[in-house]
Amino acid sequence: MTAVTPSTTRTSTIRSALFTGVMTICSLTICVSMLVSTLQDIKQQRTALLNELESYASIIAFNAQSSFAEAEKTILQAKVEFADEQENIFDDYAKLEESRLRSFAAVPMFHHIHIYRLAPQTDNLQLYSIYNARGLGPYPAQFDKVASYTKPQLSNNYIELSQEILQNDQLAGYVFIRASQQELKNYIQNRILFDLFIIICALLVVYLLTRKLEQKFTAPINQLLQLVQKVAKDKDYQVRAPQSSIEEFNKLGKALNTMLDKIERQLIQQKQSETEIRELYQGLEHKVSERTLALKTSNQELLNTLATLHQYQNQIVETEKMASLGQMVAGVAHEVNTPIGLGVTASTLLQDKLTDIQRAFTEKKLTSSQLERFLTESKENLGIIYRNLDRAASLISSFKQVAVDQSNDSQRSFNMAQLINEVLLSLRPNLKKTRHQLLVNCPADLVIESKPGPINQILINLVMNSLIHAFADNDQGEINISVAISGTRCQLMYRDNGSGVPETIKKRIFDPFVTTKRGEGGSGLGLHLVYNLVTQALNGKIIFNSTLGHGVEILIDFPVINNSHQQRN
């Protein structure tokens, strides 16, 4: 048997649990709230920056539209028809637009600004004006991509966007802006550093408040803990818990004081009880010694009586066996007397006929018809004598086999169906007085190796039990005996449709002296004998089932050796 070791469980103090819990909750709350606030602020700043760039782009597009309109107006007024001259006029206005764009040097985030004009003759974009921040080189023209930047494009360091230039609701060109995100990044970095500073300050305040709250809660607990340890160590139940400023700890202290009061009273009562018990114990020792001697004497007498009862029970069981055998002997004797009496009557009649024939023969008066009649009657009488003597011999042979089996517990090979028929033939005197039907379902060639003697006694006791008890108020009952073989086990099922067994004695049906015919000739040993024969002689088991008014069902299962296949071979 292996020893069971207790499982180790991690423990923590209230102080550490309270500190950890409060710090964790506050830290998570502060960090999450600051994170959400920072992300929301960054999102708003990025949106504001985009809106600002779009506003600048709209202003530049408006100025560019005015420049395009002024250039076209100048061309119309001057009636310039040559393309080169028209381009020169647009170049002049483009330089004027570039001077305007240089005013955006005051906005550090602008790195590059391009204004593209849609040439009316070719519908191709032409670079109209350019602005490059101081210290930065030119940025490649974005003829192919400028139309895709109408939705701002954000990279790691830059924001690129474009704005359409409309003239008379028609596309006249684009404004392209490439701005730096460094200002936004600096803002984000400063905001994160500021948030970290706020978080650290908040956590420091929370730490100090938690330590103070921890001391407020743990101080009363430590007082109560010291009190309990003192009580456990010194067994001093007169100490009491002090009052606390916290209501819950105050209630706990009052409950502890109440418990100590009860323990103190119980200890006083226990001491008084121990004194009384000690006095009673001293008085009981003498009585116990006297009673012990008396019990020893009574136990010895009970053991002697029990041994005597066992002897009487065994004698009664043997007497029951002999009684059943005696009943069978009386029945067989009565049954044998009938064929023997018929044989004696037929032989006496034959002897008288023979005397008449002999007299007629002596007096020489014997006729052929008289001789023929004598021979016919002699043949009939001899037939009667033979049949009845054969019947008597069969009865005696069956009784002899049953008697031998009952008195012999040895194991042998026998035909099960023949054994059942011999038992029923020996019970014929008891059965022929009734109109009960007895049905046997057993293979005719079933040969097994077992103890026929106990099986004989079991069947006789079961049938007699049904005749005496089950069919006491029934003139036409039915008994069914069936036998089946399953491997090395034989199942003998016995059923009757009699009165059944009351529930009051159903569980004690196999106990000795249990009967419903007490005072009417029932000994109560029939089924007790059956149980002993099945469990001890046959080494089997028996199952009893009955419902009052619906008969009984008894299953007997015992080991056998099936020799039927050897008989067939």
Taking the C-alpha atoms of residue 93 and residue 65, their distance in angstroms, rounded to an integer, is: 11
Query: φ and ψ at 202, to 5 degrees?
Result: -65, -45
Strands 478-486 and 437-441: parallel
Share of the chain above pLDDT 70, in %: 82
Each residue of 429-465: pLDDT tens digit? 777 778 888 899 999 899 999 888 888 888 888 888 8
CB 402 within 8 A of CB 414: no
Give pLDDT, residue 548.
85
Q: CA 297, CA 303: separation in Å to the nearest integer? A: 10
Q: What is the pLDDT of residues 92-141, one digit of tens each?
A: 788 888 888 888 888 888 888 988 888 777 778 888 888 888 888 888 88
Summarize the confidence of residues 220-225 as an average pLDDT: 73
pLDDT exceeds 80 at position 481? yes
Find residue 288's DSSP bridge partners: none
**Is-contact 117 68, C-beta < 8 A?**
yes
Kindly tell me if the per-residue pLDDT of 558 is higher than 90.
yes
Closest CA to 263 of 231, 233, 223, 220: 231
CB 175 within 8 A of CB 130: no
Instruction: Give the contacts of 415 (CB within 8 A, at least 6 positions apart).
Output: 445, 446, 447
The more confidently predicted of residues 15 and 33 is: 33
Indicate the SS3 state at residue 129.
strand
Contacts of 347 (CB under 8 A, 6+ apart): 381, 385
Whether residue 496 contacts residue 478, with contact meaning beta carbons closer than 8 Å, is answered with yes
Q: How confident is the model at residue 183 (pLDDT cuts 50, 70, 90)?
A: confident
Which 3 state secondary structure label does DSSP give 510?
coil
Phi–psi pair at 394, nearest 5 degrees: -65, -45
For residue 507, pLDDT over 90 is answered with no
Of the listed ranges 24-28, 266-270, 377-381, 503-507, the least confidently predicted one is 377-381
More confident position, 120 or 477: 477
pTM: 0.39
175's enclosing H/E stretch is: strand 170-180
Cα dihedral: 510, 512, 513, 516 (round 10):
0
Q: What is the DSSP string of 429-474?
A: HHHTTS--EEEEE--TT-EEEE-HHHHHHHHHHHHHHIIIIITTT-
Closest CA to 471 of 438, 440, 493: 438
Query: Which domains are assigned to the chain?
Result: 14-199 (3.30.450.20), 412-568 (3.30.565.10)
Strand-pairing partners, residue 544, are 554
H helices present in 500-548, as ranges:
503-506, 526-532
d(CA 535, CA 114): 114
Q: What is the pLDDT of residue 399?
A: 56
What gap in Å lies between CA 384 and CA 350, rounded to an integer? 11
Cα–Cα distance, 517 to 255 (Å, whole number) = 69
For the chain, the C-alpha Rg in angstroms (whole number) is: 62
Mean pLDDT, residues 54-74:
84
Tell me what pLDDT residue 490 has.
93
- Distance between CA atoms of residues 117 and 166, nearest Å: 11
- The pair of three-digit structure tokens given for residue 90, joined into one six-digit string: 């647009």
At 542 the pLDDT is: 93
Which pLDDT band, with edges at 50, 70 and 90, does 322 fall under? low
- CB-based burial, 394-427: b 16+ in 10 Å, e otherwise: ebeebbebbbebbeeeeeeebbbbbbbebbbbbb
Q: Which residue, 521, 546, 537, 516, is CA-closest to 406?
A: 537
Rounded distance between C-alpha atoms, residue 367 and residue 357, angstroms = 10
